[in-house]
Amino acid sequence: MEHLVEEKELTFRDFETDQDVRWCPGCGDYAILKAAQKVMPQIGKEKEDIVFISGIGCSSRFPYYMNTYGFHTIHGRAPAVATGVKLANPNLSVWQVTGDGDALAIGGNHYIHALRRNIDINILLFNNEIYGLTKGQFSPTSATGLKTKSSPEGTVDRSFNPGKLAVGAEANFFARVIDVDPKRMAAVMLMAEKHTGTSLVEILQNCIIFNDKVFTNVTGKDVKLDMQLWLSHGEPMIFGKERNKGIILNGLQLEIVTIGENGVTEADVLVHDAHCSNNVLHNMLISMSAPEFPVAFGVIRMVESESFDQNVWKQIEEVKETAKIRSVDELMNSGVTWEIE
């Protein structure tokens, strides 16, 4: 007799594990983990069809804390493993978890080519502008002048902007969120999963021990409404405590205007087009920084095109249709062969 198994609707608790979460109390990683666990039931996949892959760093403990399949790989090499997993089984939802050091220093080359190839994976880049796991050295995203264990007089290095590097690599999807806004963070993660191709989500994340309050000039309660521009495709770029500030294009430069002053109306404010294939304006938005400008958040760029894995499998199917050799046995017995008695 057949027994019908009732399908269980997954909740975030189904994605929790029995592992002790070993991050410092107050670390922004906790909020990111909780957001990811809440998003997973919404993507329409079974737990067995979801994979989390990480490199090295505080963020890279993530696979231990997600009740899915996962790989904790080596420093900077997670994109290579994620690419192989997606090519081997295109049905999987593949998530790469990385940090600013793991992705942009030793892993910079892999980071660039994952974005360039447009492999259908989701990259969560935790950016706390410091090396946290190795106890506080400056990272590729650390601000010039930051005093750290490896730059006691202040680093003279110029910092990377992960989004600008992504756009330079012709990424099709780039978003930016904050660890202290878990609701919006979860919504962006879901959009990243629904996008076909490489989806990069930069998460500004606080390291309470080695770089505490690094984003306070953007996330502080007294400034956040004036220093955060949350973008939505098709909506005007309006922000501010009074919702009366907007972004316009003045020649080749972005400019902040006040609606109602000097004849400026809402119609003058730029409308966000995340789907525009031309990345010039996207790059300008990504480059905005406080205090001169608000920091752009949300999905900044989302352009559809065929992914690398789709094209690989399409090519395989096309070759199989005309191939003279269709199996390993046929290959081994092709050409000149002989039998040994």
| pLDDT one-digit tens code per residue, 160-205 | 899 999 999 999 999 999 999 999 999 999 999 999 999 999 999 9
pLDDT at 73 over 60: yes
Q: Is residue 30 part of a domain?
A: yes
How many domains are there within the chain?
2
Which of 38, 37, 57 has its CA nearest to residue 129? Answer: 57
* Contact predicate 137/202, CB 8 Å: no
Phi/psi for 258 (5° steps) reads -110, 120
- pLDDT given at position 226: 97
Among 5-19, 103-117, 262-276, 283-297, the minimum mean pLDDT is found in 5-19
Separation between Cα atoms, residue 339 and residue 341, nearest integer Å: 6
- Indicate whether 149 and 195 sit together in one domain: yes
Confidence of residue 330 (pLDDT cuts 50, 70, 90): confident
* Contact present, 321 and 195 (Cβ < 8 Å): no
Instruction: At 34, list the tokens.
Output: 């909780």
Would you say residue 21 lies in a domain?
A: yes
pLDDT of residue 295: 98
In a domain, 338, yes or no: no
Same domain, 132 and 104: yes
Both 260 and 212 in a single domain?
no
User: Is the residue at 107 inside a domain?
Assistant: yes
Same domain? 209 vs 255? no
User: Is residue 5 assigned to a domain?
Assistant: no
| Percentage, residues of the chain above pLDDT 90 | 89
- Same domain (yes/no): 164, 193: yes
Residues 142, 148: contact at Cβ < 8 Å?
yes
Q: Can you give the pLDDT at residue 1?
A: 46
Long-range contacts of 91-94 (CB under 8 A, 24+ apart): 91/49, 92/49, 92/50, 92/51, 93/43, 93/45, 93/49, 93/50, 93/51, 93/122, 93/193, 94/51, 94/53, 94/120, 94/121, 94/122
Q: Is residue 320 part of a domain?
A: no
Residues 122 and 17 both lie in one domain:
yes
Co-location of 202 and 253 in the same domain: no
pTM for the full model? 0.93
Residue numbers of the domain that contains 60:
12-235+272-313
pLDDT at 7: 66
Type of residue numbered 214 = V
The answer to whether residue 257 is domain-embedded is yes
> Is residue 250 domain-shared with residue 120, that is, in the same domain?
no
The pLDDT assigned to 126 comes to 98
- Look at residues 246, 271, 296 and tell me which one is the last residue of a structural domain: 271
Q: Same structural domain for residues 141 and 240?
A: no
Residue 2 has pLDDT above 60, yes or no: no
Whether residues 145 and 251 share a domain: the answer is: no
- At residue 237, the pLDDT reads 98
Q: What is the pLDDT of residue 6?
A: 54
pLDDT in tens, 312-327: 999 999 988 888 888 8
Residue 259 lies in a domain: yes
Total residues found in the chain within this entry: 341
User: Do 195 and 261 fall into the same domain?
Assistant: no
267 and 279 fall within a common domain = no
